[in-house]
Structure 1
């Protein structure tokens, strides 16, 4: 029987794209015939406390040499490379996006994470990434062996129910309240199109409470309190209802290693306005979205205005999004791609 151990820190129910990917991959591997044990680790990764780091080293070291060991990206990128080199099990790392590329890091932390991730890539038997963009970064910037970097694109659940865009248009943004998601840029852009008819919802876990408070204050300062709702965490059903009623999906992200929410928007047939940042251009078809440079509220506002004021264009973009969404892979496809990697690692 195929076997694997999947080490994931913290709460597997955490609502972020990375956790969702790993939760669905864990479930998917089991469904396609790989007996996969979930190994919980301390929640402090990627900045582990000494206790969490020591516990992780001991727990990972106990996995036998014949069992592939899948490491969550927070753990894979931040574990001490000396400790990584002592593991007996063949390691399959997951890199959603390089940890050193995260927003708001002190330079010393950025350097430390770059070095640990680069060294750990050399110890990995294989690495799973969600996009060709992330694969290119690991090869070009981190010196990873391209033969060991495999794209396992995230799956998408095809929506049910009929799309019913609201009037006035709903501008929907889905992403955790974290500086990297650029909700501050979105708010400034929305303030520039106040002359148009629209309502907006920003849905996403308040992952960074200080940033969330800044967003709430900014919403009031910009005169958007009655038109923009900071919804925080929403249920799957609530999220799907929002997608069905959305006229535009808008995420002013500063960087994405992939961006599951773009696939969700495509599957629901929602036109997209976002930024040419990270893997977004690889994920969003040109006919379905308008992409502008990151950190440019004026250009983002221009793109919103172009979609909101041209109904024919909005319909054309929605049709292109729906076509692209219908062809997206499912989570079983993701699991099978990962299972092939595990089989190859086990055979070596």
Structure 2
């Protein structure tokens, strides 16, 4: 007799096709779920999170309640929405609720202190109302336990999966530096611009691929900084790209840089390693975990240190080759999306058994 698959819903706010790491993770997890014996279906929530108006929040809670009343299977709620939902409303749902937590909303760089504190308090209460938490890095799991009070036994870690890819040839003339990520304060692209200004004596071009409409003020400030530093002929902001074009961009790069001020994992750094690119990034959040000793790490917000690391890659071919080999080895050791789906399925099975026993 064929075993029936486990069933769950994934409540996700806004457009599921949004080209950011959290949304990519959710889409890929749903895509890999059948191979892990898991039927994980999308439960769409309205957009506007994590700063919903009252009507949006009420609509989202109504959708969750109706879904829970119609089907007893567990509901994952993406942390972008879960972290600002009232804990009492989550606790009142008649099905197990599992947080899918990428990183704490209250740790987003640039927040006013009172806003950050309010988000941490809201997330702490919401997480306490959840039956379990699935998160995307061991570093984030430590943060949830140490700062938001989540018991370790409630947490499962499912690292993002990684697709295998051919090694980039790295023969650009001049060398090409690639960055991938939303134009936002958290990503630290302003630090990269200031670092590149210190490398004006070297031949290079650079490109940042990622959405430019998420934080319009950050995008305008970055564009102004690029012009102020005289980098416009060499540093391009390309906006989001479809998957095939992004793969081509990795293949056409000679080095990868992610200057983030915080990351819950850093999926794009891992993707760059899958293409055997030398990676320069920061010590922020889970980036050391994601890169596993294979990248050059500098402190966040240190343009001089970032420039020094990039200079090493651009001027020392032996060092760049060593880093490329280290990237490929690290990528080979990272899990697949099927591995992530199996961990999610195991967490659902555990929560369901606990609910049945109760």
Indicate whether the TM-score tops 0.5.
Answer: yes
- C-alpha deviation, 1:122, in angstroms: 1.3
Question: Is 2:119 the counterpart of 1:113?
Answer: yes
Structure 2 residue aligned with 1:27: 31
- C-alpha deviation, 1:210, in angstroms: 2.0
For residues 200-211 of structure 1, the aligned pairs below 5 Å read 200-206=206-212, 207-211=214-218
Structure 1 residue aligned with 2:270: 263
Post-superposition Cα deviations, 1:161-217, rounded to whole Å, max 9, x if no partner, equal: 763431221111111101100000000000000101111011111121221122112
For residues 215-226 of structure 1, the aligned pairs below 5 Å read 215-226=222-233
Find runs of 4+ consecutive structure 1 residues off by over 3 angstroms: 160-165
Change in Cα spacing, 1:30 to 1:322, as seen in structure 2 (3 Å) is same
- C-alpha deviation, 1:107, in angstroms: 2.6
The counterpart of 2:247, out of the listed 240, 254, 261, is 240
* Structure 1: gaps (5+ residues): none
Question: Is 2:94 the counterpart of 1:88?
Answer: yes
Structure 1 range deviating more: 184-193 or 82-91? 82-91
The counterpart of 1:52, out of the listed 41, 52, 56, is 56
CA contact (8 A) 1:189 1:297 kept: yes
- Match of 2:83, SS state, is helix
For residues 115-194 of structure 1, the aligned pairs below 5 Å read 115-160=121-166, 163-194=169-200
Structure 2 residue aligned with 1:338: 344
The counterpart of 2:19, out of the listed 15, 21, 24, is 15
Post-superposition Cα deviations, 1:127-155, rounded to whole Å, max 9, x if no partner, equal: 01111000000001111110011100000
- Match of 1:78, SS state, is coil
CA contact (8 A) 2:195 2:306 kept: yes
Structure 1 range deviating more: 159-168 or 15-24? 159-168
Distance 2:47 2:114 in 1: 22
Question: Is 2:305 the counterpart of 1:299?
Answer: yes
CA contact (8 A) 1:165 1:244 kept: no
Structure 2 residue aligned with 1:5: 9
Question: Is 2:236 the counterpart of 1:229?
Answer: yes
- Match of 1:246, SS state, is coil
Post-superposition Cα deviations, 1:320-345, rounded to whole Å, max 9, x if no partner, equal: 11111122211111111101101111
CA contact (8 A) 1:163 1:268 kept: no
- C-alpha deviation, 1:26, in angstroms: 1.7
CA contact (8 A) 2:267 2:290 kept: no
Structure 1 range deviating more: 186-195 or 156-165? 156-165
Post-superposition Cα deviations, 1:257-305, rounded to whole Å, max 9, x if no partner, equal: 101001101100011111110001111132x211111111111111111
When normalised by structure 2's length, the TM-score is 0.94
* Structure 2: gaps (5+ residues): none
Change in Cα spacing, 1:161 to 1:303, as seen in structure 2 (3 Å) is closer
